[in-house]
């Protein structure tokens, strides 16, 4: 009888024990899932902020690299090295018969690419000019003057050759595409408008004026103030530095709650939309060595 009972004795867990084990397992699984989700969200946030910082730094580096040559004109004086109207971008024939600007590139210089000061909701834009040489011959989009015209578009001392100075000019402009939130560049050697950096929402410029020709900035003014001036003190030829500030956002929403914030970009206060994007301001001052 004792052996019979031993063979038929119940083994394993009761229903209550199974339910308790399942509840404990669910709690543990929930904790692990919550921890994973939080870790994943933190990782995405860190990546987005890192990418935001990279985009901001890269945008400023690209702008600086292109604009620091503004006014470079060996053997001559460039009295106004900025683009104020599309007509300021002149296509001229080089001695070998080529032109310094392709027809498709010429179409890229429109009203949105000229030097202009706007309010915080309509971003500033800038267009600048320098003369190509054997040392500097690349536009902001990375295209260069043809190597076959070093004696033409890349200047030799005038008047050694019969050359219109306009044929040596390289034009660069920077502006914001408000639809795609990208920093764009139009270069006179590039057939297409190039995207420089993503997530750039706003850009503002101020111009450092040397009002007493001592080689130092006496005051900063925006493009509107310089255009409106009737005196020789506020003159585009007196610009020796450029301040630039950009507002950059993350490419994906990363905040837990939507909010709107104000950011100061030089002479403008910019109010962001109410959303979950992370934003930051990047700024620098570009010294125009060739206008000093």
Q: In this predicted model, what pLDDT tens digit does every residue of 202-219 receive, in sequence order?
A: 999 999 999 888 889 999
**N residues, the chain:** 292
User: Of 22-26, 62-66, 224-228, which range is least confident?
Assistant: 22-26
Write down the pLDDT at residue 12: 64
- The answer, yes or no, to whether residue 175 has pLDDT greater than 80, is yes
Residue 237 confidence (pLDDT) above 60: yes
Per the CB < 8 A criterion, the answer to whether 189 and 141 are in contact is yes
3-state secondary structure of 253: coil
**Higher-pLDDT residue of 18, 281:** 281
Question: What rounded mean pLDDT belongs to the chain?
Answer: 83
Which tops the pLDDT comparison, 159 or 225?
225
- Check pLDDT > 50 for residue 182: yes
Nearest C-alpha neighbor of 195 from the set 208, 179, 182: 182
What is the average per-residue pLDDT within 120-146?
Answer: 83
Tell me how far CA of residue 103 lies from CA of 91, 189, 193, 195, 270, in angstroms: 8, 10, 13, 20, 37
Helix (H, G, I), strand (E, B) or coil at 123: coil
**Is residue 94 within 8 Å of residue 88, measured between CB atoms?**
no
Indicate the pLDDT class of residue 230, thresholds 50, 70 and 90: low
Q: With contact defined as beta carbons under 8 Å apart, do 57 and 282 qualify?
A: yes
Long-range own/partner contacts, residues 73-77 (CB < 8 A, 24 or more apart): 73/130, 73/131, 73/165, 73/290, 74/131, 74/133, 74/155, 75/155, 75/157, 75/158, 76/131, 76/158, 76/165
The per-residue b/e assignment along 248-279, b for 16 or more CB within 10 angstroms, e otherwise, is bbbbeebeeeeeeeebebbbbebebeeeebbb
Residue of 125, 140, 257, 287 lying closest to 200 (CA atoms): 125
Q: How does strand 239-249 pair with strand 268-271?
A: unpaired
How far, CA to CA in Å, does 32 sit from each of 37, 45, 256? 9, 20, 20
Q: What is the per-residue pLDDT across 72-87, written as a single tens digit (0 to 9) for each? A: 877 667 788 999 998 8
Find the mean pLDDT for residues 189-198.
92
Predicted pLDDT at 41: 72
Q: Report yes or no: 244 and 207 within 8 Å, Cβ to Cβ.
A: no
Does the pLDDT at position 189 exceed 50? yes
Q: What DSSP element (H or E) covers 98?
A: none
């Amino acid at each position: 009888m004792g052996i019979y009972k031993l063979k038929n004795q119940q083994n394993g867990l009761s229903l209550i024990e199974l339910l308790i084990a399942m509840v404990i397992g669910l709690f543990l699984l929930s904790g692990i899932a919550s921890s994973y989700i939080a870790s994943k969200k933190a990782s995405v946030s860190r990546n987005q902020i890192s990418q935001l910082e990279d985009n901001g730094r890269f945008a400023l580096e690209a702008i600086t690299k292109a604009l620091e040559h503004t006014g470079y004109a060996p053997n001559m004086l460039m009295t106004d090295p900025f683009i104020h109207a599309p007509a300021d971008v002149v296509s001229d024939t080089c001695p070998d018969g080529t032109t310094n600007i392709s027809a498709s590139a010429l179409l890229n210089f429109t009203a949105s690419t000229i030097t202009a000061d706007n309010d915080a909701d309509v971003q500033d834009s800038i267009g600048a000019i320098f003369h190509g040489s054997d040392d500097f011959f690349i536009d902001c989009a990375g295209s260069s003057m043809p190597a076959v015209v070093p004696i033409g578009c890349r200047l030799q001392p005038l008047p050694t050759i019969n050359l219109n100075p306009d044929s040596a000019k390289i034009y660069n402009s920077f502006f914001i595409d408000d639809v795609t939130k990208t920093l764009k560049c139009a270069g006179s050697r590039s057939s297409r408008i190039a995207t420089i950096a993503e997530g750039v929402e706003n850009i503002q410029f101020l111009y450092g004026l040397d009002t007493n020709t001592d080689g130092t900035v006496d005051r900063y003014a925006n493009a509107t103030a310089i255009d409106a001036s009737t005196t020789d003190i506020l003159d585009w030829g007196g610009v020796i530095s450029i301040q630039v500030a950009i507002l950059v956002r993350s490419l994906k929403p990363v905040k837990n709650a939507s909010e709107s914030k104000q950011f100061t970009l030089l002479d403008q206060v910019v109010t962001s939309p109410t959303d979950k994007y992370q934003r930051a301001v990047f700024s620098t001052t570009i010294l125009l060595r060739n206008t000093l």
